[in-house]
Amino acid sequence: DVKVTQSSRYLVKRTGEKVFLECVQDMDHENMFWYRQDPGLGLRLIYFSYDVKMKEKGDIPEGYSVSREKKERFSLILESASTNQTSMYLCASSFQNYGYTFGSGTRLTVV
């Protein structure tokens, strides 16, 4: 089974901090994605990557950046955390368009 691992289940950070969310997948998938989930808004795509060192903006990239230095790892960076970035963050990977495998999510609270 494909496994997508997100480094933290719960995080509490202060406003203005730089925050790193890490995601690792173990099935050599080319595609990796970062979403956030908020009540009533569903899953919104932040950034995605189809290859190493490649990144594409999703629907809500403002305030975020990403890094993909290795195929198995896709990092989401909050340059200066704000309270409106309090959310559930979900990482996913996929092979072509066979559907996503999601990680367990990181519940981030910015205070």
Contact characters 47-76, another protein, x per CB under 8 A: -x-x--------------------------
SS3 of 106, please?
strand
Residue (of 104, 66, 106) closest to 86 by Cα position: 106
Closer residue to another protein in complex, CB, 79/96: 96
Figure out which of the listed residues 1, 62, 69, 99 binds another protein, where binding follows CB under 8 A.
Answer: 99
- Residue 85, sorted as left (phi over 0), alpha (psi -120 to 50) or beta, turns out to be alpha
Does residue 103 bind another protein (CB under 8 A)? yes
Give min distance, CB of 52 to another protein, in A.
15
Figure out which of the listed residues 1, 14, 40, 83 binds another protein, where binding follows CB under 8 A.
Answer: 40
Burial of 14 (0-12, 13-18, 19+ CB in 10 A): exposed
Closer residue to another protein in complex, CB, 19/32: 32
User: Phi, psi (5° rounding) for residue 84?
Assistant: -75, 0
Does residue 26 bind another protein (CB under 8 A)? no
